[in-house]
Amino acid sequence: MVKNYKCLKKLSLFLVFVQFVIPFFSVAQEGKPIGPKPTIEKIKPESGSPGAQVEIIGKNFSPDYSVWLGTIQVEVLSVTIDKITVKVPVNAKTGRFVLKGKYIVESPTLFTVVESRPSPLIYGFVPSSGAPGTIVKISGANFSSQIFENSVMLGNSQVQIQSAAPGELVVVIPKEATSGKFTVTVMGGGTVISNQIFTVQSPLVVTDFSPKFGPPGTEVTIFGSGFGDKKFLSVTMGGKITKLKNVLQDRVVIEIPQDAISSPLIVNYKGEPKASTIQSFEVRIPPVIESFEPIEGFPGTIVTIRGKNFGSSELKAKVKLGSILVKILSITDEKIEVQIPQDGQSNPLTVEVTGKGEATTARAFSVWAPLIISSFAPEKGEAGTVVKISGQGFIPDLKKVSVFLGTVPLEITGITSTEISVKIPQGAPSQKFTVSVKDRGKVESAKAFLVVELPVIEKFYPVSGQIGQMVTVTGKNFGFSTDNIRVWIGPPDRKQFCIVQQIAGTKLTCQVQPNTVSGPVTIAVKDMGETVSTSIFQIEEPLTVAGFSPTSGLPGTMVTINGTGFSPVKNLNSVKLGKIPLKILSSDSNSIVVQIPVNIKTGGNFIVSVKGKQSSAVSASAFNLILPVKIKSITPKAGPIGTTVKITGQGFGTNLQMVQVLFLGFYCPVISLTPEEIQVQVPPGLMPGVSQGKFQVIVNPGGIDESPQIFKVTQAHPKTKAIPKE
């Protein structure tokens, strides 16, 4: 058994040897080999998916060789002496290409078998233009995340890929590139071409800009080339980013920042070297208007405009009211005074400064039209009638306009700049309309409005009296029954009934009741209306003089006398200073203002009398009259230094501390003083025989006066020497 087993084993080894060795000898004995040994230099491409065609580049190829990829034989499509074209089989795996024939030859590089991919897609790219060197992002789908598996062309130019991802390829525009579409080829996925054209720009260059100066906010156009896409462009000024208003290939429009300083304009484009203007843009600060006053007025009004950056030259500044030039009265850097022209209309004020710009007020200066009442309608009516007053110069502001019928204020129910509607109140008299506009003056209608059937007060007497006094009122439209008429005395908020005793057509009599205070007389007639007297019935008080102020003064001084029982009607009062009547300037029930006559010589007590009152009131103290200083004469009119000079006149007083006497600027010693005479000495320091002049007397109060005569300083007489006895 063992012997047989050994024999079988030897037989098996022999058969294996015969199987491999005999074919070798038989091939070697087939005819002569064809050509030299082939050489594979490269394969193209070096990767691909099953079904892809691959070119094997080299030398000495012939159809006698089979081609293998790893251990799998591939289909040969064509053979030339330097190129074999094959098709990658379905079941192929990454490996080297092998030529099998007389010689076995391997490719120097591996062929990478990749799985089939979906076709690549291009959605778009940014920027859409740029100079060589610009970085472009191509967005899409089905790209390879391996850079070498993607290929990008711009027209006919190969484009360098910086990074790759399935949805984005980042590429750099080459120097030799021209405008065209992007072509993306993905290994195993195919090729896609962009719909849009990428525009290759000129290099970033700045040639000029305009304007060369202006205020913040100025729009400046920068000229040049290569500006490209707005998304990748920025312009800075002194390190501050400017606002881009418009971007074209050959120009950029920017806005100067508010806090900009004069500096060059620097253009930045992503991926490009910066480009700068040679010259700086000069920021010129425009004038600024902060306020102006007044804000309204008639033509000719002087308006003060306040602000800054106005300059100080009238030649470089202009002021306009709307489009009308306004006269400049004065100008500083912070203030301009102008005068509103006669033909000016309500408009904003504009200040223009040469080389700086202009500024306009936010609000208009309101030019007032002259106040005019041209007409009113209706021309007559009863209380409650609404009257429309037409004219010009009115203001549609109830706080600034008031309308009177005579002295009676009217309710304004509507107002425009040319028409005012008013309501006639109860008791209004037949009078002219007066329209008063705050700060603009007032105007009166040419004729009166006739109030129909209202009671009218012509006068009443007496004009003053005590409680219980019978008052007679004359007028018209009083009616005939005491039941239909009411009479009050006093102001509107404190008026008291005056009980009507009798009525007869144009006259009625009433009695003053307790608690009545001074005020006008009001009459209301049933179904006819109400009227108020223009004068006041004065409730009499005891006539007293409590005091006066000031207590002393010069002739012409105004003195206020305080007390009770005075008449508000100044002509019903009389005041004397001693026996001299005084002029009354004004009066009310508690004070009278008088003026000391100019020619008065002495003071005295004030005596106050009121017409209709039996007694007078006398002040407890006298008014001290201070006469103005007046020099009448000097004696002597010449003398040496030290001479006693007598100065006569008035108003010198008796207080030496309040009196000074000067001669040629030198103070004169005062020897004696009375209200009418001063004795002084000629002071030293004068030049005898040369100095001459007038004396000046200064009294506080009282004033200053100069002597009418000139005093001459003479030489002193020499003293007589005694003759010695022999």
Q: What is the 3-state secondary structure (H, E, C) of 446-492?
A: EEEEEECCCCEEEEEECCEECCCCEEEEEEECCCCCHHHEEEEECCC
**272 near 239, Cβ under 8 Å?**
no
> What is the per-residue pLDDT across 356-386, written as a single tens digit (0 to 9) for each?
888 999 999 989 888 999 999 999 888 889 9
DSSP 683: P
Structure tokens at 303: 């308006």
Mean pLDDT of 533-549: 90
Q: Are 686 and 700 in contact (CB under 8 A)?
A: no
Tell me the β-bridge partners of 630.
650
Of residues 70 and 480, more confidently modeled = 70
Q: Which two tokens stand for residue 497?
A: 């009934």
Average pLDDT over every residue of 232-243: 91
- The pLDDT of residue 374: 95
Beta-carbon contacts of residue 675 (< 8 Å; ≥ 6 apart): 627, 650, 651, 652, 653, 654
Please say if the pLDDT value at position 720 is more than 50. no
pLDDT at 32: 46
**Helix, strand or coil for residue 147?**
helix
**What length is written for the chain?**
726
Structure tokens at 535: 């004068």
Distance in angstroms (rounded) separating the CA atoms of residues 383 and 338: 48
For residues 61 and 80, is the Cβ–Cβ distance under 8 A? yes
The one-letter amino acid at 39: T
Give the span between the Cα atoms of 136 and 291, in whole angstroms: 54
Q: Is the pLDDT of residue 563 over 60?
A: yes
15-19, 328-332, 505-509, range with greatest mean pLDDT: 328-332
pLDDT digits (tens, 9 = 90+) for 647-702: 999 988 889 999 999 999 999 999 999 999 999 999 999 999 999 999 999 998 87
> The whole model's pTM is what?
0.31
Which DSSP string do the residues of 283-317 spell out, in sequence order?
Answer: E-PPPEEEEEE-SEE-TT-EEEEEEE---S-TTSE
Distance in angstroms (rounded) separating the CA atoms of residues 256 and 544: 80
**Would you state the pLDDT for residue 608?**
96
| 577, two tokens | 């200073």
Q: Is the pLDDT of residue 483 over 50?
A: yes
Ranges 96-100, 225-229, 350-354, 365-369: which has the least confidence: 225-229
CA distance 359 to 331: 15
Short-list 296, 395, 291, CA closest to 347: 296
What pLDDT does residue 9 have?
Answer: 46
- Residue 94, Cα to own-chain centre: how many angstroms? 79
Q: Does residue 536 contact residue 520 with C-beta atoms inside 8 Å?
A: yes
Query: How far, in Å, are 470, 511, 533 from residue 460 at the CA level?
Result: 11, 12, 9
726 pLDDT exceeds 90? no
> What is the tens place of the pLDDT at every residue in 254-309?
999 988 889 999 999 876 778 899 999 988 888 999 999 999 888 999 999 999 99
Instruction: Return d(Cα 706, Cα 722) in angstroms, integer.
Output: 43
Give me the amino acid identity at 131.
A
**H or E, element range at 670:** strand 670-674
pLDDT value at 22 more than 60: no
372 vs 2, more confident: 372
Predicted local distance difference test score (pLDDT) of residue 5: 43
**pLDDT value of position 719:** 58
Domains and CATH numbers, the chain: 1-28 (no CATH), 39-113 (2.60.40.10), 121-200 (2.60.40.10), 205-283 (2.60.40.10), 288-367 (2.60.40.10), 384-451 (2.60.40.10), 456-539 (2.60.40.10), 544-625 (2.60.40.10), 630-713 (2.60.40.10)
Q: Find all residues with CB under 8 Å of 467, minimum gap 6, and list them.
A: 512, 513, 514, 516, 539
pLDDT (average), residues 148-168: 94
